[in-house]
Amino acid sequence: MSLELDDISIRLQDRELISLSASIGPGEVLTVMGPSGSGKSTLLAFVAGFLDPAFTASGTVRLDGLEITNMPANLRRTAMLFQDPMLFPHMSVGENLLFAIRAGRAIPGKVEAGFPSGITKQRAGASWADRRKIAEAALDEAGLHGFFDRDPATLSGGQKARAALMRVLLSQPGALLLDEPFSKLDTDRRARVRDFVFEEARQRKLPVLLVTHDAADAQAAGGAVVTLG
């Protein structure tokens, strides 16, 4: 699986914010660095399909060879993690994960990429009980055993970040888009969460587009680095 960005150009009125071409292979991380206001979050919005109409953009985005540039956001399979974990406050931790698990049949051939280890594709999305098992297995994997019924508000910052990552992975994405997802964690937690995210992405062979202004993030990611602005 790979994410390709061809001749991407994003402008705000007459000013070109971003001009970029890149290819991110399975399990690879491309880090985009730049000061605030340089447009790095705009790049993610463009790739994920949330670009504000105020911007104009050109270029093509391909995921696994399929062009997704003009697809609706929900069909692109480009999952996003934000600065904040964005766990839905009106759902329990478990419901947050269930929300991400597709109902009905799993998409053939994509199951291993999205699901935590130990869940086979035959069982994916079959029934509520199975879906709950999938969610609980994901929680176990993230070190959140028994957190299914918890109120997300009662989790620590690191726990929330891990739950958010598992939620995104359960949606069987084709790529991960990270918008400074570690910047709000304290220093000792940051490294652990970061390693956890990259490790899970590598295991699932997901291409990762990371936007950050922290050089340590870029270093930990280990992949190519593009600097904007």
Residue 84 lies near other proteins (rule: CB under 8 A): yes
| Gap between the Cα atoms of 17 and 156, Å rounded | 36
Among 173, 185, 190, 210, binds other proteins (CB under 8 A): 173
Instruction: Give CA separation, 224 vs 143, 190, 215, in Å.
Output: 30, 21, 12
Among 16, 19, 99, 227, binds other proteins (CB under 8 A): 99
CB 130 within 8 A of CB 123: yes
Residue 78 lies near other proteins (rule: CB under 8 A): yes
Among 14, 15, 65, 74, binds other proteins (CB under 8 A): 74
No. of helices (H) and no. of strands (E), the chain? 7, 9
Instruction: Please report how many Cα atoms fall inside a 13 Å half-sphere around the Cα of residue 120, on the Cβ side.
Output: 2
Residue 80 lies near other proteins (rule: CB under 8 A): yes
C-beta of 70 vs 187, nearer to other proteins: 70
Q: Which of residues 131-150 bind other proteins (CB under 8 A)?
A: none
Per-residue contact string for residues 28-47; x = within reach of other proteins by CB under 8 A: --------------------
Residue 110 lies near other proteins (rule: CB under 8 A): no
Residue 86 lies near other proteins (rule: CB under 8 A): yes
Residue 227 beta carbon to other proteins: minimum distance, rounded to whole angstroms: 25
Instruction: Give CA separation, 163 vs 72, 115, 198, in Å.
Output: 25, 14, 15
Tell me the window of 6-14, 32-40, 122-130, 164-172 that interacts with other proteins (CB under 8 A).
164-172
Residue 64 lies near other proteins (rule: CB under 8 A): no
Among 34, 49, 116, 181, binds other proteins (CB under 8 A): 49
| Gap between the Cα atoms of 214 and 55, Å rounded | 26
DSSP 18-47: EEEEEEE-TT-EEEEE--TTSSHHHHHHHH
- Kindly state the DSSP code that residue 185 receives in the 8-state scheme: S
The type of residue at 67 is E
Question: By the criterion CB under 8 A, which residues form the site for other proteins?
Answer: 48-50, 52-53, 72-80, 82, 84, 86, 88-92, 99-100, 102, 151-154, 167-168, 170-173, 177
